[in-house]
Structure 1
Amino acid sequence: MVCLLISIIVLHLVSLAMLFTATLEKSWWIWTYSETSDLWRDCFYNNSTQVWVCATITENDWLQSVQALMVLSVVFSSVSLLVFLGQLVILPRGSLFYFTGLCQAFAGFTDFSACLIFSYHKKEILGVSKDVSQGHFGSCFIMAWLCVPLLHISGVLYVHLRKKQ
């Protein structure tokens, strides 16, 4: 039982760390090896100073939707972890962790929605002045997609987990 509990907590922490990284890092879209875009800024690598120079991305409704959904996903997953730790102490013996699983499932659904919106509306999000065909999805976008099944799996595990003494 202890191994199961530790593995569920580790799965939750790994998915939360991946979500947090995917939300904040700068590689949702890669134009060239020296130019990237993310949810918050456009960056390019200045060869003369050997520094990444970033500017705030032009906001539109689709981008704000993706930003809000990714932040909500991190919040739901964080709340889920805190609620789980609280429920470990206060839930009576034999109870199930429904609320924790529900929060984790909502985190998965919001992450899924954000990735889907970014996939279908990348041209509007990245700006019409650039040719989207000259770039590709970055590692943080892929990491956000990988979080979707992890969040749903941990949500299902929480719902089926029964508190024992």
Structure 2
Amino acid sequence: MLVVLAFIIIFHITSIALLFIATIDNAWWVGQDFYVDIWKICLNATKTECLEIGSNNPNFQAIQAIQATMILSTILCCIGLLSFGLQLFRLKQGERFVFTAIIQMLSCLCVMIAAAIYSSMYDKFHPALEIKNGTFGYSFILAWIAFAFTLINSIMYLILRKRK
């Protein structure tokens, strides 16, 4: 049982790390000479000429929705780890980890919403012609991997709740 708990903790910490990297790092949409994330656009490879995505963007509300859901998913995943630690020793068998599983499901839902909005509207977020010629970056891919990890983690918490 200790091995299972250790695996779940490591899996959860990995999910948190993926969410932090996906939220903070500047590689949601990349091209030959630019990097774009949900916060700013860097127009050269050295990341010295960066422009913040501001309210002058016609789709600024969608960008804010992506920012908010990614931040919320990271916060919820961290709260889920804390609640896992508290529930491990405080609740009786059968009641354990239900709250943690719900928090992880909410985190999973937030990541899915953010990545889905970005994937459906990425070409509208960056109207400059040179930025349209790019591909999804590793932060976007990490967001989808974090979605899978948080979903699997929440399912593991639901299965683990009845174990001794």
TM-score (norm 1): 0.89
Indicate the structure with greater strand content.
Answer: 1
Contact between 2:73 and 2:110, CA under 8 Å: does it hold in 1?
yes
Partner of residue 80, structure 2: 80
Distance 1:73 1:94 in 2: 26
Compute the RMSD of aligned alpha carbons. 1.8
Contact 2:22 2:143 in 1 (8 A): yes
Look up the SS of the partner of 1:55 in the other structure. Answer: strand
Question: How far did residue 120 of structure 1 move?
Answer: 0.5
The answer for the alignment partner of 1:54 in structure 2 is 50
* Deviation per residue, 1:64-106 (Å, 9 max, x gap): 1100110111011011111111111211244331010010011
Runs (4 or more) in structure 1 with deviation over 4 Å come to: none
Q: What SS class does the counterpart of residue 76 from structure 2 fall into?
A: helix
Note the C-alpha offset of 1:137.
0.4
SS of 2:44's equivalent?
strand
| 8 A Cα contact 2:34 2:131, kept in partner | no
Contact 1:62/1:124, CA 8 A, preserved across alignment: no
- Could you say which residue in structure 2 is the equivalent of 1:63? 63
Distance change in 2, residues 1:69/1:58 (3 Å): same
User: Which residue is equivalent to 1:108?
Assistant: 108
2:140 corresponding residue in structure 1: 141
With structure 2 as the length reference, what TM-score do the two structures score? Answer: 0.89
Structure 1, unmatched stretches of 5+, are none
Letter in 1 for 2:155: V
Identity percentage of aligned residues: 31
- C-alpha separation in 2, matches of 1:116 and 1:95: 33
Gap regions ≥5 residues in structure 2: none
Aligned AA for 2:2?
Answer: V
